[in-house]
């Protein structure tokens, strides 16, 4: 096998990956607990790579907007960490949970402090804190994504947000339970509205690869301003590596070897610090909630290019 370790021609790598995994889109099933996502065709596939200077390459449906869902948890974590720093970690941990993303059981043992910011309970805490600081967490997130992707068209998908609200009993239970421990500051209905709008944002692989660039640039935003300290960018990448792909983070690290974050819309973002950011989308999910074709495509990317953090 040829390993392209220096200056990888990203377009050629992406074209080759799309060819190699041709049979995979279509495997797995779209998330059906959110009715608005259940109808997605699992054969859809797109992938993009962005370089730190903003050059972007893609294959398949890389400009097609999709439901970003839990991928957004990376950006709300970054936005909150930038504002409150280490104080955040008194309210949410940074250890893998080993439990499904919407599990309630661990919260009781651990007194309402979620294991990490990427399971739903942890993301609710982060959004709650960001909302307290900004007065509009979902709006702050949307502004951030528009600025970092350079795409002013990004927006909330009202149908998806409404669908999640109508089927949001589990998230409501998590939020109320944590509120009973004093770990939620806003009224639960206000928090849920913010959280569901956050998850409903539509963006393409190109948008998300670009918007994640600050993590490859060690905390520097698209306009050159500092969004996170170098150390905080490292921290976000580390939490992505250990907790970013539900309770399959060990397998993802083993196969892909990059910080990554998946969402039940079928998107996955990944970071090669200093080199590039990636986003892949294909709605067919495995039993743990990660895109089947998405994980395979990232696996091929690091194998073909030799670009990983290990
Ligand atoms: N909005 C989804 C939920 O809260 C996000 C889940 C995900 O993508 O992991 O259930």
* Distance separating alpha carbons of residues 41 and 145, to the nearest angstrom: 26
- Specify the ligand 1 atom closest to the Cα of 170: 10
**Structure-derived torsion over alpha carbons of residues 126, 129, 130, 133, reported in degrees to the nearest 10:** -170
Domain that holds residue 283: 10-305
Supply the pLDDT for residue 36.
85
Supply the pLDDT for residue 7.
52
In a domain, 143, yes or no: yes
Check if 247 has its Cβ closer than 6 Å to any atom of ligand 1.
no
* Distance separating alpha carbons of residues 126 and 76, to the nearest angstrom: 7
CATH number of the domain within which 255 lies: 3.40.710.10
In a domain, 77, yes or no: yes
Supply the pLDDT for residue 97.
84
In a domain, 218, yes or no: yes
Supply the pLDDT for residue 3.
42
Closest CA to 51 of 19, 20, 11, 108: 11
> How far, in Å, from the CA of 264 to the mean position of ligand 1?
6
Q: What is the DSSP letter of 248?
A: G
**Could you tell me the two tokens for 121?**
């309970």
Supply the pLDDT for residue 26.
80
Check if 199 has its Cβ closer than 6 Å to any atom of ligand 1.
yes
Closest CA to 271 of 238, 225, 222, 304: 238
> How far, in Å, from the CA of 164 to the mean position of ligand 1?
9
Say how many domains are in the chain: 1
In a domain, 253, yes or no: yes
Supply the pLDDT for residue 102.
76
Check if 262 has its Cβ closer than 6 Å to any atom of ligand 1.
no
> How far, in Å, from the CA of 102 to the mean position of ligand 1?
8
- Specify the ligand 1 atom closest to the Cα of 70: 8
Closest CA to 248 of 101, 150, 80, 68: 101
> What is the residue with the minimal CA distance to atom 2 of ligand 1?
69
In a domain, 5, yes or no: no
> What is the residue with the minimal CA distance to atom 3 of ligand 1?
120
In a domain, 281, yes or no: yes
> How far, in Å, from the CA of 118 to the mean position of ligand 1?
10
**C-beta of residue 230 within 8 angstroms of C-beta of residue 237:** no
Check if 119 has its Cβ closer than 6 Å to any atom of ligand 1.
no
> How far, in Å, from the CA of 306 to the mean position of ligand 1?
31
In a domain, 174, yes or no: yes
Q: Are strands 201-203 and 155-156 parallel, antiparallel or unpaired?
A: antiparallel
Supply the pLDDT for residue 163.
93
> Could you give the strand order of the β-sheet that contains 201-203, starting from the edge strand earlier in sequence?
66-67, 201-203, 155-156
Ranges assigned E (strand) in the chain: 46-50, 56-60, 66-67, 155-156, 201-203, 260-262, 267-272, 276-281
* Distance separating alpha carbons of residues 61 and 96, to the nearest angstrom: 32
* Distance separating alpha carbons of residues 71 and 65, to the nearest angstrom: 13
> How far, in Å, from the CA of 63 to the mean position of ligand 1?
22
In a domain, 3, yes or no: no
> How far, in Å, from the CA of 119 to the mean position of ligand 1?
9
Check if 246 has its Cβ closer than 6 Å to any atom of ligand 1.
no
Out of 30, 70, 167, mutate this one to test ligand 1's pocket (max ligand atoms within 8 Å of CB): namely: 70
User: pLDDT per position in the chain (310 positions), as tens?
Assistant: 344 445 569 999 999 999 999 888 888 999 988 888 899 999 999 999 999 999 999 999 999 999 999 999 999 999 999 999 999 999 999 999 877 777 888 898 889 999 999 999 999 999 999 999 999 999 999 999 999 999 999 999 999 999 999 999 999 999 999 999 999 999 999 999 999 999 999 999 999 999 999 999 999 999 999 999 999 999 999 999 999 999 999 999 999 999 999 999 999 999 999 999 999 999 999 999 999 999 999 999 999 999 999 9
> How far, in Å, from the CA of 11 to the mean position of ligand 1?
31
């Amino acid at each position: 096998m040829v390993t392209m370790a220096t200056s990888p021609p990203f377009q050629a790598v992406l074209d080759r990956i799309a060819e190699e995994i041709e049979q995979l889109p279509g495997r797995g099933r779209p998330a059906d607990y959110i009715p608005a996502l259940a109808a997605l065709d699992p054969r859809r596939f797109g992938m993009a790579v962005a370089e730190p200077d903003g050059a972007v390459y893609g294959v398949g449906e890389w400009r097609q907007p999709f439901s970003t869902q839990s991928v957004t948890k990376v950006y709300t974590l970054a936005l909150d960490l930038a504002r409150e720093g280490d104080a955040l970690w008194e309210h949410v941990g940074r250890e893998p949970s080993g439990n499904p993303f919407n599990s309630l059981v661990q919260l009781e043992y651990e007194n309402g402090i979620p294991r990490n910011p990427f399971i739903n309970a942890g993301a609710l805490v982060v959004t709650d804190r960001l909302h307290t600081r900004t007065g509009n967490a979902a709006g702050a997130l949307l502004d951030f994504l528009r600025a970092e992707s350079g795409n002013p068209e990004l927006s909330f998908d009202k149908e998806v947000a409404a669908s999640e609200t109508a089927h949001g009993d589990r998230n409501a239970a998590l939020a109320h339970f944590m509120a009973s421990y004093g770990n939620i500051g806003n009224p639960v209905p206000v928090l849920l509205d913010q959280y569901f709008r956050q998850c409903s944002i539509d963006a393409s692989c190109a948008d998300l690869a670009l918007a994640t660039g600050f993590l490859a640039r060690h905390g520097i935003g698209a306009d050159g301003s500092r969004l996170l300290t170098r150390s905080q960018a490292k921290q976000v990448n580390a939490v992505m590596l250990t907790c970013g792909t539900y309770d399959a983070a060990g397998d993802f690290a083993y196969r892909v070897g990059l910080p990554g974050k998946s969402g039940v819309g079928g998107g996955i973002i990944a970071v090669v610090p200093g080199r590039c950011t990636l986003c892949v989308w294909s709605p067919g999910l495995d039993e743990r909630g990660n895109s089947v074709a998405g994980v395979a495509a990232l696996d091929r990317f690091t194998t073909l290019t030799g670009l990983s953090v290990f």
